[in-house]
């Protein structure tokens, strides 16, 4: 396994009115820094990558981002063009890399920036969310707990000797967390087995939402079962032998469905009454990690 732990810093539109004109919906976050660590099969640091990117969309540093990253306007202008940094980063990653990061926003933002610049993104198709991994291996998967890197370091008694919110340092910390989480797993094959459920493809479409308006009082079961459910990732028609699970008030349902290729999906359905009609909101998701 070729693990690259990476972290990004990004700039965005100015807060408030000034930012409305500036904002580009196809690129809400523009990368200004990439930091990464390549790990050995034993999950020890092998090589480091650090580069500043000169933004072309949000050229003025957002004051909140400046405060967190300790970056200023001058340093923002000293970076290299994104295309150059992205190509160096792809070389650094090498073939068949698994890009690990704290949370899922970094792979998402990297993907958006590559697409915005019409650059090759196939150098990474596998990602690992270390925040979710930490939650499962260290805190038995307690839901809705999005821990910070600082929290995980303290929990695992890892020294915090580097400053935070610098892309390279945050990547190094995330690498140390991955190492600490799998410290007791001795062989590479066992490590692969432990991590496999947590790998995901950041390019997969994982969610689909739609709604259906019907005459008030229509039977919910027939409406819900009568929808066509297709996997957001591959478009296959889904099937289910699971019962519809509802809350006491019968305004909310959950239904598990199955895709031949992607396994179990979850559909959440909410019903709201609006102007004498019943509006059903469907949210179909491919869960991560898998159910
Ligand atoms: Zn599928």
CATH number at residue 71: 3.30.420.10
How confident is the model at residue 70, as a pLDDT?
A: 85
Residues 188, 211 within the same domain: no
Of 145, 174, 200, at which residue does a domain stop? 200
Residue-wise pLDDT for 40-79, tens only, equals 999 999 999 999 999 999 999 998 889 888 888 998 999 9
Q: Considering the domain boundaries, does residue 268 fall inside one?
A: yes
Query: What is the DSSP code (8-state) at residue 197?
Result: G
pLDDT for position 44: 94
Does residue 51 sit in the same domain as residue 175? yes
> What pLDDT was estimated at residue 143?
63
Do residues 140 and 190 both lie within one domain?
yes
pLDDT digits (tens, 9 = 90+) for 222-279: 999 999 999 999 999 999 999 999 987 789 999 999 999 999 999 999 999 989 999 9
Q: Ligand 1 centre from 215 Cα, in Å?
A: 32
Q: Are residues 48 and 185 in the same domain?
A: yes
Same domain, 30 and 84: yes
Per-residue pLDDT tens over the stretch 114-130: 999 999 888 889 999 99
pLDDT at 149: 94
Centre of ligand 1 to C-alpha 128, Å, is: 19
Residues 33 and 77 in one domain: yes
Q: State whether 159 and 44 are in the same domain.
A: yes
* Separation of CA 27 and ligand 1 centre (Å): 27
Residue at a domain's end among 152, 167, 200: 200
Based on the domain organization, do 158 and 212 belong to the same domain? no
pTM of the model: 0.86
Quick check: is 132 in a domain?
A: yes
pLDDT tens track for 79-126: 999 999 999 999 999 988 999 999 999 999 999 999 999 998 888 899
The conformation of residue 80, written as its DSSP 8-state character, comes to B
Query: Can you read off the two tokens belonging to residue 187?
Result: 């062989």
> What is the Å distance from ligand 1's center to 120 Cα?
24
In a domain, 291, yes or no: no
Find the 127 Cα to ligand 1 centroid distance in Å: 18
Distance 143 CA to ligand 1 centre (A): 24
In-domain check, residue 290 = no
Residue 234 Cα to ligand 1 midpoint, Å, equals 4
The angle subtended at Cα 79 by Cα 75 and Cα 85, nearest 5°, is 150
High-pLDDT (> 90) share of the chain, %: 75
Based on the domain organization, do 187 and 231 belong to the same domain? no
Instruction: Give the residue carrying structure tokens 């050995």.
Output: 40
What CA–CA distance (Å, rounded) separates 190 from 5? 20
Domain count, the chain: 2
Taking residues 202-212, report their average pLDDT. Answer: 95
Quick check: is 273 in a domain? yes
**Mean pLDDT value across residues 1-24:** 90
The residue among 200, 216, 245 that closes a domain is 200
Spell out the alpha helix ranges (H) of 117-263: 130-138, 149-155, 167-181, 188-195, 220-225
235 Cα to the center of ligand 1, angstroms: 6
| Alpha carbon of 204 to ligand 1 centroid (Å) | 9
Ligand 1 centroid to residue 206 C-alpha, Å = 9
What is the reported pLDDT for 40?
93
Q: Do residues 44 and 6 both lie within one domain? A: yes
Residues 7 and 125 in one domain: yes
Provide the residue range defining the domain that includes 10: 2-200
Note whether residue 186 is domain-resident. yes
Residues 109 and 177 grouped into a single domain = yes
């Amino acid at each position: 396994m070729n693990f690259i732990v990476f972290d990004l810093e990004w700039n965005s539109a100015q807060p408030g009115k000034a930012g409305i004109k500036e904002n580009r919906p196809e690129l809400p976050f523009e990368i200004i820094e990439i930091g990464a660590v390549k790990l050995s099969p034993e999950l020890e640091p092998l090589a480091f990558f650090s580069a500043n990117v000169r933004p072309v969309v949000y050229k003025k540093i957002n004051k909140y981002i400046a405060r967190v990253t300790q970056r200023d306007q001058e340093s923002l202008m000293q970076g290299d063009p994104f295309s150059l940094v992205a190509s160096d980063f792809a070389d650094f990653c090498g073939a068949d890399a698994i890009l690990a990061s704290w949370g899922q926003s970094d792979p998402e933002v990297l993907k958006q920036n590559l697409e915005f610049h019409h650059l090759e993104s196939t150098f990474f198709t596998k990602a690992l969310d270390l925040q979710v991994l930490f939650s499962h291996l260290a805190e038995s998967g307690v839901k809705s707990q999005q821990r910070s890197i600082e929290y995980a370091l303290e929990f695992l008694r890892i020294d915090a000797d580097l400053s935070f919110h610098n892309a390279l340092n945050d990547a190094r910390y995330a690498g140390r967390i991955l190492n600490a989480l799998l410290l007791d797993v001795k062989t590479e094959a066992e490590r692969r087995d432990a991590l496999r459920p947590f790998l995901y493809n950041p390019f997969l479409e994982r969610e689909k939402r739609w709604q259906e308006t019907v005459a008030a009082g229509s039977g919910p079961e027939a409406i819900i079962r009568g929808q066509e459910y297709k996997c957001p990732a591959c478009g296959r028609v889904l099937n289910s032998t699971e019962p519809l699970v509802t809350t006491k008030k019968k305004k909310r349902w959950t239904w598990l469905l199955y895709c031949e290729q992607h396994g179990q999906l979850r559909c959440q359905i909410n019903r709201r009454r609006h102007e004498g009609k019943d509006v059903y909101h469907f949210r179909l998701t491919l869960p991560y990690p898998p159910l």
